[in-house]
Structure 1
Amino acid sequence: MKLHTLCLLITSSFLAACSANTVNVIAGQDSITPIHKSGEREGRYHNLYAGDKTYPVTCEADCYPQHPNVICETTAENCTFNAEQLKPRLNLGFNIRWLGHAGFMIQTPNGQHVVFDPVKEQFDSPVDLAFKLASGFYRQPGDWLTRSELKNLDAVMYSHIHYDHFNKSDIEEIGNQPRYLAPLGMADNFPNAGLNISEMAWYAKTKIDDLTIHALPAHHFSSRVLVPFIYEDNDKDLWNGWLLEQNGSTLFFAGDTGYSKHFSDIQQKYGDIDVCLMPIASYYSEDNPKWYRYVHTTPEDALKAAHELNCKVMIPWGYGNSSWKMGDRSSHSALLRLLHMHETMKSPVPLYILNEGESIKF
């Protein structure tokens, strides 16, 4: 290769990597921007239903019994769910693959390809190395997108900026072909790589061809700093759930969230939900159990929320061999608690359990 050609290629690659992103904000007459208008929290976002919480159901004892379908190398660690499962006869056309933790690859009924919260490795550098040195724990990578899937992505949707849901190095691999959808305020966290980013208020909507995408409330918080758990930038960016709607069928991704009235609000606005992707982990901490549950659903909270949403099937996430085990006892303790409480509560919501990398079509 001639030198001047090589130089042109290097220059073009550098310019592409550093080109400015295109950012637009989507809101509407019926959307909500939950921001403090005055006081010391002025300009910061807040939850719709703040304040002390009461929870309908709480497992008090023997919450993690072994389950014959959860096969583990040690107690609740390095496990596989192994069972014949009855699949609800929904005939929706959604093909769902769990990448691990909160990541999902979705093929819609009419063939669009979208992904929720893709995170390939543990954290962005330098937090990645700092966490490993401080804790001695290093997350095993989950499933990931094939080269063909990366090439054909239509949209990438992020629920919030926490490291286990948003990794800048993955965006470099995903590239600038798909459209990026994010909560309000989040765009300035993306690398400058010529990306098409839409920030969306709660209850705002947008379209990709005939796929309607709704940004929905969640009950959480946001922060993204070099030193974990020092929150100088706390809540400067919003946090979302997402709803896909096509051919009259719906798929809901709750994002990280605690239990609150926003679940019943969503059902009242959009009707019963067909497929619900619900978080069941990161709810436990010996140091601050009340706060952890405030911003993360326990398995029983997730079941109650799915019932309020009238989900026709619930797929849980947050546990697993590629999970961060943040706030949880082990990789699969949350799944054991979910299976136990599903029976204890006599929940009417059907469950479908995936291992990382597995797919199901409804």
Structure 2
Amino acid sequence: MTQTVHAPQWPEDFRDRLTAPLPDFRELLSAAWHGGFRPDIGDADQIPVLRGGGLPRVETGQTAVTWVGHSTFVVQVGGLTVLTDPVWSRRIPGTRQRLTPPGVAWSDLPKIDAVVISHNHYDHLDAPTIRRLPRHTPMLVPARLGPWFTRRGFRQVHELDWWDSTKIGDVRFDFVPAHHWSRRTIWDTCKTLWGGWVIGESVYFAGDTAYGERLTQIGERYPGLDLALMPVGAYEPNWFMKTSHVNPAEAVQGFLDVGASRMATMHWGTFLLSGEELLAPIISTRAAWSALGLPRESLWDLAVGESRTFTP
């Protein structure tokens, strides 16, 4: 059974949700230079990849997450298999092909019970991957993004505003705020919403976010989260990225703000989107974690394809 909290009544756009000015043309050109044409990928072979690991067997009451790469996880929770921002393509518009292969082969996926989308940027909403899904797959998407899916034949599309929730089976999905923005073409800036997801009242998937007060608000609304899936890459040059993405230290602080028990890293090691060295996101995250004296076992700095399991 699927249930959505209320019928959608959306504004024409969501610019009033912005917490920072949108990038101008000069900034976009700079970002394209750092992300699309940065030549040094010599460390790509050091990005950890677990090959052939597959998906773990999950016992009743357990939750498992498997990092496929970038912001894509397979989340096994409450008897469901859920995909976050699924991207299995070799490349996305404006970037080189992916540095590491998907951590789970598409052919090894079980039936997908739900897909959650954080926003419409190409590294989070990948049309070739979405086309591979059966059209009866429930798609949980931000406000005003639903027509993108219904035009492609999807029949169970659930649009949510911030703090709205829906249920698939016994698992609740809550759409929560983020410090970010949306744009897929030059004509649709902020026409659709952006955000993160709380899955099963246990797992927080941040999507893309800068640092700010909305992280604390999420923690206040959802006390006792077990796991935060936090982005740690795409933060240089800082003058451009700081209004859209957390850096590693901010990701760790954001994890503390939402009050989760564990943090898993994502949004690094897959696509060239920014100017930092390839391994800097994970090295800096470990350093920030250690500097705060946080327990090492609570940092899940996963390899591509690696899984972890916990019991809430």
TM-score tier (shorter):
0.7 to 0.9
Which residue in 2 is equivalent to 1:196?
Answer: 156
Match in the other structure for 2:87 = 119
Aligned residue for 2:102?
142
Q: Contact 2:5–2:166 at 8 Å: present in 1 too? A: no
- Pick from 227, 232, 235 the counterpart of residue 187 of structure 2: 232
Task: State the number of aligned residues.
Answer: 277
What is the deviation of 1:75?
A: 6.7
Structure 2 residue aligned with 1:97: 66
Equivalent in 76, 85, 92 of residue 107 of structure 1: 76
TM-fit CA distance, 1:236: 0.6
1:325 aligns with 2:272: yes
Cα shift readout 1:183-237 (whole Å, capped 9, x = no counterpart): 0111222352243111111111111111111111111011112xxxxx4321111
Check if 1:264 corresponds to 2:212. Answer: no
2:300 aligns to what SS in structure 1? coil
- Pairing partner for 1:357 from 271, 290, 305: 305
**Letter of the 1:332 counterpart:** L
Gaps of 5+ in 1: 1-23, 36-42, 53-73, 83-90, 226-230
> How does 1:296-311 map onto structure 2 within 5 Å?
296-311=245-260
Contact 2:117 2:141 (C-alpha < 8 Å) held by counterparts: yes
Cross-structure match for 2:37: none
One-letter code aligned to 1:243: V
Render the CA deviation track for 1:105-129: whole Å, top value 9, x for unaligned. 0111x311111011111456xx4xx
Query: Is the Cα contact below 8 Å between 2:3 and 2:168 reproduced in 1?
Result: no
For 1:118 and 1:240, the matched residues in 2 are separated by 15
1:336 and 2:305 aligned? no
Provide the secondary structure at the position in 1 that maps to 2:147. Answer: helix
Render the CA deviation track for 1:318-349: whole Å, top value 9, x for unaligned: 112xx112114233211111111212233468
**Does the Cα contact within 8 Å between 1:123 and 1:167 map onto a contact in 2?**
no
How much is the aligned-residue C-alpha RMSD, in angstroms?
2.8
Shift of 1:28: 4.5
For residue 71 of structure 1, what is the aligned residue in structure 2?
none
Q: How far did 1:304 drift?
A: 0.5
- Separation of aligned partners in 1, 2:278 and 2:45: 7
For 2:291 and 2:63, how far apart are their aligned partners in 1?
30
**8 Å Cα contact 2:82/2:113 also seen in 1:** yes
TM, length-normalised to structure 1: 0.70
Q: Report the Cα offset of residue 47 of structure 1.
A: 6.4
Which 5+ residue runs of structure 2 have no aligned equivalent? Answer: 22-40, 50-59
Counterpart for residue 205 of structure 2: 253
Give 1:143 shift.
2.5
Alignment of 1:40-51 (within 5 A): 43-46=12-15, 48=17, 50-51=19-20
Q: Percent identity?
A: 25
In 2, Cα distance between the equivalents of 1:113 and 1:310?
25
